Amino acid sequence: MIESPQKILVRQWISRAENDLLNVRNNLAAQEIPWDTVCFHCQQAAEKYLKAVLVFHAQPIPRTHDLEHLLGMVGQWIPQIQEQREALRWLTTFAVASRYPVESIEVVDEPRGRRSLDIAQAIRRDCRAYLLELEPTFTADHRG
C-alpha cells in the first residue's frame, strides 16, 4: 500500500514528537536531571502532536511555539483537549525561555519538570487516540 504524502508527513510529526519524549525518558533516567531540558522537550512533544493533527486535516502549520494558539486550531476536532488550555499556556513558556538564560523564567525544578511531562502525555494521549480512530496505522508503529 502506498501512503499519501500527507500521511507520511503526519507520521513524521508523530515520530519527532516521540523522539522528544524519548529524550525526556532518557534524561529522567540520568543521575543528574536537567529539568529545563525535560520541560523543553515536553513542550516540543506537545507542539508536534498538535501540529500532526493539523497536517492530517491539511491545515497550514503556523510557525509558532504557542501551544494555546495550536490548541485553538485543533480543538474543533478534539474537544476534550480544550481542558488543557491553562496547562498549555504554562508549558509554552518552555519553548524558548528554557533554552536561554532570561530573567523572567521561573525556576525549573523537578515539580515543574514532572508537570510538563504530565501535560505532554495528556496531549499525546488525546492526539494519538484521535488520529488512531481516523487512521489505525498512524500510531501502530510508534512507541506505546
Domain range annotation of the chain: 1-100
Closest CA to 143 of 5, 10, 14, 13: 14
Position 17 pLDDT exceeds 70: yes
pLDDT band at residue 105 under the 50/70/90 scheme: low
- Sequence-ordered list of residues with C-beta below 8 angstroms from that of 52, at least 6 positions apart, any chain: 10, 13, 14, 17, 127, 131
- Sequence-ordered list of residues with C-beta below 8 angstroms from that of 38, at least 6 positions apart, any chain: 24, 27, 28, 113, 116, 117
Q: According to the model, what pLDDT value does residue 135 have? A: 83
What pTM, to 2 d.p., does this model score? 0.90
Name the residue with higher pLDDT: 107 or 81: 81
Burial letters 66-97, b for 16+ CB under 10 A, else e = ebbebbebbbebbeebeebeebbebbbbbbeb
Position 99 pLDDT exceeds 60: no
What is the fold, at CATH topology level, of the domain defined by 1-100?
Answer: Four Helix Bundle (Hemerythrin (Met), subunit A) (1.20.120)
Rg (CA), the chain: 15
Q: According to the model, what pLDDT value does residue 4 have? A: 86
The conformation of residue 109, written as its DSSP 8-state character, comes to: -
Average pLDDT over residues 106-133: 93
